[in-house]
């Protein structure tokens, strides 16, 4: 299917392949390997002279359907599906970087991403400089002769800071670096980073692409040239998406537009309510006029998205009291679910990074993150009200 179709149509129809049985719903190919008509055909497939499936570590029809559908939604030439969002980031870095290279990254990243850069890639000789997500001048100042990759997530986790993708992409191009954007919070329904100048898109499909908290998965997207070494890393090392998970993601994509619209509407309603609560000192939501990057957010996103963060007066004790007094909300660090989830970032998603890094990212002890689900918002408000 081509770009002539609207996103909600692509989310339902793109990448669909029928077997000889002419099934209407996408088939799930639960097999570890595939047979060949002859030894010659096997040889040609293994060296890439003939297209076709070989081994499910790196070729599977169900996974391919998911990859093609997500690529169509993002406007990318190719998608490489992985076992999780973190393995997607790892595959991109290991495929595109080498020892001696340098990364410039936003300091407002998911805690595990920070740990990957600081504790894993550093062992292989790749250094990272962390800068403000919103100050483009800091990205320019951090460039070194060996800078090869810029990495950011926008909106950021958990403060929903908005990075100017187009401006940072221009800085990256000025030094010959690639820009990778984690588009997990927005999905291609709300934001298309490639159109703004990014080179690579990262997804944790575990979140909104599934939408119901069922399975793990990730994806890296970009041009065929850039995805070739990423795919090569996956083929050799095997952080592979399973066929079952790919099938679940295909079903999740079919309702992505409807869900993202509903998550966004519910989030704005909750954010407006939180701003009126006397024990809430600050609310972070891109859809609010009070958000520092509200104007930019509304330029590069279609809505504010589904994540709301807020600070309560009284620090960690007060934040934990709000969380512990909820009776309906799910106390979990996952997000993108139909069920509203609540977490304390300083002691969960960002607990393994240093206190100094948390402070630099603005993650205080009083901060709570809500991933707003699809329940009636009056019920969510009443649940939060018990602790507030």
What confidence score (pLDDT) does residue 25 get?
Answer: 86
Instruction: Report how far residue 105's alpha carbon sits from residue 111's, in angstroms, rounded to the nearest whole number.
Output: 13
* Domain extents in the chain: 7-254, 258-387
**Sign of the dihedral defined by the CA atoms of residues 190, 195, 198, 201, in that order:** positive
What confidence score (pLDDT) does residue 60 get?
Answer: 96
323: closest CA among 372, 278, 367?
Answer: 367
Tens place of pLDDT per residue across the chain (388 aa): 555 899 999 999 998 887 777 888 899 999 999 999 999 999 999 999 999 999 999 999 999 999 999 999 999 999 999 999 999 999 999 999 999 999 999 999 988 999 999 999 999 999 999 999 999 999 999 999 999 999 999 999 999 999 999 999 999 999 999 999 999 999 999 999 999 999 999 999 999 999 999 999 999 999 999 999 999 999 999 999 999 999 999 999 999 999 999 999 999 999 999 999 999 999 999 999 999 999 999 999 999 999 999 999 999 999 999 999 999 999 999 999 999 999 999 999 888 888 888 888 889 999 999 999 999 999 999 999 999 9
Instruction: Report how far residue 83's alpha carbon sits from residue 230's, in angstroms, rounded to the nearest whole number.
Output: 14
C-beta of residue 234 within 8 angstroms of C-beta of residue 80: yes
202: closest CA among 223, 189, 190, 218?
Answer: 218
End-to-end CA distance of the chain: 49
What confidence score (pLDDT) does residue 243 get?
Answer: 97
What confidence score (pLDDT) does residue 3 get?
Answer: 57
Q: What kind of fold does domain 7-254 have according to CATH?
A: 3.40.640
CATH 3.90.1150.10 fits 258-387, yes or no: yes
What confidence score (pLDDT) does residue 177 get?
Answer: 98
95: three-class secondary structure by DSSP: helix
Question: H or E segment at 93?
Answer: helix 85-96
**Sign of the dihedral defined by the CA atoms of residues 198, 100, 174, 224, in that order:** negative
């Amino acid at each position: 299917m081509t770009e002539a179709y609207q996103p909600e149509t692509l989310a339902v129809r793109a990448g669909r392949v029928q077997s000889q049985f002419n099934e209407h719903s996408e088939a799930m190919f639960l097999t570890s390997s595939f047979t060949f008509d002859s030894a010659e055909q096997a040889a040609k497939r293994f060296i890439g002279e003939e297209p076709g499936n070989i081994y499910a570590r790196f070729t599977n029809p169900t996974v391919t359907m998911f990859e093609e559908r997500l690529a169509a939604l993002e406007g990318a030439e190719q998608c490489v599906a992985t076992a999780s969002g973190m393995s997607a980031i790892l595959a991109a870095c290991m495929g595109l970087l080498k020892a001696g290279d340098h990364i410039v990254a936003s300091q407002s990243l998911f805690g595990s991403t920070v740990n990957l850069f600081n504790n894993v890639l550093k062992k292989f000789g790749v250094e990272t400089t962390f800068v403000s997500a919103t100050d483009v001048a800091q990205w320019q100042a951090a460039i070194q002769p060996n800078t090869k990759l810029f990495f950011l997530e926008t909106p950021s986790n958990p403060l929903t800071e908005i990075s100017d993708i187009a401006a940072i992409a221009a800085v990256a191009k000025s030094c010959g670096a690639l820009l990778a954007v984690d588009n997990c919070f927005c999905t291609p329904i709300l934001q298309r980073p490639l159109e703004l100048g990014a080179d690579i898109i990262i997804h944790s499909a575990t979140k909104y692409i599934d939408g119901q908290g069922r399975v793990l998965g990730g994806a890296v997207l970009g041009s065929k040239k850039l995805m070739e070494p990423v795919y090569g890393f996956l083929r050799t090392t095997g952080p592979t998406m399973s066929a079952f998970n790919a099938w679940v993601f295909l079903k999740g994509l079919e309702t992505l537009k409807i869900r993202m619209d509903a998550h966004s509407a519910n989030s704005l309603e909750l954010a407006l309510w939180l701003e009126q609560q006397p024990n809430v000192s600050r609310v972070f939501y891109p859809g609010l006029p009070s958000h520092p990057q509200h104007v930019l957010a509304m330029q590069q996103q279609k809505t504010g998205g589904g994540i709301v963060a807020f600070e309560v007066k009284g620090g960690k004790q007060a934040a934990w009291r709000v969380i512990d007094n909820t009776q309906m909300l799910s106390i979990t660090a996952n997000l993108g679910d139909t069920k509203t989830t609540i977490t304390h970032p300083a002691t969960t998603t960002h607990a393994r990074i240093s206190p100094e890094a948390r402070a630099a990212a603005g993650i205080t002890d009083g901060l709570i993150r809500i991933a707003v689900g699809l329940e009636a918002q009056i019920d969510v408000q009443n649940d939060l009200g018990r602790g507030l």
